[in-house]
Amino acid sequence: MPSPTHDSLIELFRDRPQLAVEVLRDLLGQDLPVTPLARAENFTFNTRPSDDIEPDLVVVLGPPPSPAHVIIVEIQKDKSKDPRQLDRYAAQAWLMLKCDATVLVVCPDARTAEHYARPIDSGLTGYRPHPRVLGPGGIPAITDPQQAAAHPELSALAVMAHGRDRKVVEAFASALAELPHDYAAKYYEHAYDMSVPEVRHLLEEIMTSTDWPVHSPFAREHYGRGMAEGKAKGKTEGRAEEAAKLVLLVMDARGLDMPDDVRARITSCTDLTLLETWAARAATAQTVHDMFDGASEQDR
């Protein structure tokens, strides 16, 4: 069953497929076709007589009529998947799209990364495909805030892999302040979901020391609750202000004399029910004091 870490990793690559190219080219040293076109596509592979198999993500490089390369991105947190299935992904992509294919396995765990980095025993003599694996050791520990802002996906991955290093988390937090709010929230969520509890606590600690509203599940709950309460309070205060203006408007229209202390008493009142009562009385009161007749002892 997919986990929050699995889903967040896939979203990082799905949101910006060029990330798969950068990981293979810049971090793992693989030559890839030079093209600005990289798109995520939905594929279901089939290896009859087996069932349909669906990779986590397929990134196609080059124009749709003639793709230049296929990157199959697979997230593995443990050793449960048969490595030969990764080989099937590549073979099916080659058959369907008629171009070269690379399997990129992203592993948050070092031992899992080591397991999938081995050549695959395909069962065919002389054919041992070798997937490209990105484990924690292959992810750079980004401690420069400017570099983190320039590469927010890699910075989020760095938090996952090296978040026990406070400087990595601080650089990530600083980078978020440079990003549009919606993007910053998304990257924070991904980093939080991909991290172990110890790093999550550090994220919370560092982010709550800034004025940027954090978006972890815990913080979102409490921040959202505060926002809702603030909006409700603001709405009530706004209605009270409007009701006070109505009382003054009716009294002015009827030509009733209002001393400064009476006007202040009305404008400073935040009890909406009481203001509505005053507004109703203002329509028939002969004097200002008639309007307050029957008011609660607390208001007198």
Q: What is the pLDDT of residue 112?
A: 94
Q: What is the pLDDT of residue 208?
A: 75
Domain range annotation of the chain: 1-138, 140-215, 231-292
* Residue range 1-138 in CATH 3.40.1350: yes
Q: By mean pLDDT, which of 26-30, 96-100, 114-118, 226-230 is the weakest?
A: 226-230
CB atoms within 10 A of CB 23: 23
Query: Rounded to an integer, what distance in angstroms lies between the CA atom of residue 17 and that of residue 11?
Result: 10
Q: What is the pLDDT of residue 226?
A: 47
Q: Residue 197 burial (CB < 10 Å; 0-12/13-18/19+)?
A: exposed
H-assigned helices in the chain: 4-15, 18-22, 83-97, 110-116, 145-150, 152-162, 166-176, 181-194, 197-208, 217-253, 260-267, 272-282, 288-292
Query: Rounded to an integer, what distance in angstroms lies between the CA atom of residue 41 and that of residue 281?
Result: 68
Place 52 in a pLDDT band, splitting at 50, 70 and 90.
low
CB 143 within 8 A of CB 167: yes
Q: Which residue would you say has higher pLDDT here, 189 or 182? A: 189
**Quick one: tokens of 240?**
């009270």
Q: What is the pLDDT of residue 296?
A: 45
Q: What is the pLDDT of residue 43?
A: 64
**How many Å from the N-terminal Cα to the C-terminal Cα in the chain?**
65
Q: What is the pLDDT of residue 228?
A: 47
Q: Which residue would you say has higher pLDDT here, 116 or 291? A: 116
Query: Rounded to an integer, what distance in angstroms lies between the CA atom of residue 160 and that of residue 181?
Result: 21
- Find the mean pLDDT for residues 151-178: 93
Place 1 in a pLDDT band, splitting at 50, 70 and 90.
low
Pick from 57-71, 109-123, 145-159, 198-212 the range whose average pLDDT is largest: 145-159
Q: Which residue would you say has higher pLDDT here, 213 or 89? A: 89
Q: By mean pLDDT, which of 50-64, 171-185, 231-245 is the weakest?
A: 231-245
**Quick one: tokens of 137?**
């050791």
Q: Which residue would you say has higher pLDDT here, 131 or 208? A: 131
Triad 191, 176, 76: Cα angle to 5°: 20
For strands 45-46 and 52-53, give the pairing: antiparallel
Place 234 in a pLDDT band, splitting at 50, 70 and 90.
low
**Would the pLDDT of 224 be above 50?**
no
The secondary structure element, H or E, covering residue 38 is strand 38-41
Q: pLDDT, tens digit, for every residue of 88-132?
A: 888 888 888 888 888 999 999 999 999 988 887 766 666 667 789
Q: pLDDT, tens digit, for every residue of 239-280?
A: 778 778 878 877 777 777 778 888 888 888 888 788 878 877
Q: Which residue would you say has higher pLDDT here, 237 or 184? A: 184
Positive or negative: CA dihedral 293, 296, 297, 300:
negative
Q: Which amino acid is at 99?
A: C
Place 2 in a pLDDT band, splitting at 50, 70 and 90.
low
The secondary structure element, H or E, covering residue 132 is strand 132-134
Average pLDDT value over all residues in the chain: 80
